[in-house]
Amino acid sequence: MTSVIVEYRNGAAIVTIDRPEQRNAINDGVMDGIMHAIEKAEANESVSYIVITGSGEEVFCSGGDLKAFQGLKTAEQAYPMLRKMGDVLDRLFFCKKPTVALLNGHAVGGGLELAMACDYRIARKNTKVGFIQGSIGLTTGWGGSTYALTRMNHAEALRMLMSADRYSSEEAFLSGCLTYITNDLPWEEDAYRYIENLLKRSPLILSTYKTYWLNSLDPHLIRHRVEEEIRSCARLWDTEEHHQAVKAFLNKNS
């Protein structure tokens, strides 16, 4: 059973994380599926933009699958997993086509890192977002801090990162984390109406302007910062605080 579903509609490649029973948590299969979907969509001339979303109406993505990764104890064991998802977000951030995170539900921890790698973040009303990694003894480990500090006002980004709190969609919108909050019902119809109006021009027009923005960045500096972030998270993975937090989570959800 595939954990990532890809469909093509009205010029969009819609990539859905399909693990609702695991709160759309990311494992190796999800990493592989998202990477393959991005590469295929970027090479498809008929695709104007890419949408990343989650299955169901509760959670966009809850971050890394702690059950799948519970065997990772040391920094050396954690680094390859962190680096692998870091590569996925790098591919998403530097994608030549516009990218949209459609938050069908809550986006926390690595789920918000995934959203921050996208150009736009469209969220349902009453969803929660937050870099909650600090509550389990970690920092962002896939590049999320770098992408948040690139896309948001530094003070607002640091507030969200350092607090490790969950924020309402309204608070996240005011901070610049979210691009748009949908109307109540039907929320998905409103979301795609907004996205299709925002990205209504031809694939060539959209990709040209996206390239202009990418050319304004220093990719070597961004990738260096992300690598430092990944290595720092790997070191924290080895701490007793993190191991105890994972143990408590697994006991609570066993």
pLDDT score recorded for residue 204: 96
Kindly report, residue by residue over 38-67, the tens digit of the pLDDT: 999 999 999 999 999 999 999 999 999 989
Mean residue pLDDT of the chain comes to 96
Of 176, 108, 93, nearest to 138 by C-alpha is 108
What lies within 8 Å, CB to CB, of 100 at 6+ separation is 49, 50, 51, 52, 118, 119, 120, 121, 122, 195, 199
- Read off the pLDDT of residues 206-225 as tens digits, 9 standing for 90 and up: 999 999 999 999 999 999 99
94 DSSP β-pair partners = none
Answer whether the bond into residue 219 is a cis peptide, omega within 30°: no
Domains of the chain: 4-198 (3.90.226.10)
Kindly report whether the global pTM for this prediction surpasses the value 0.95. Answer: yes
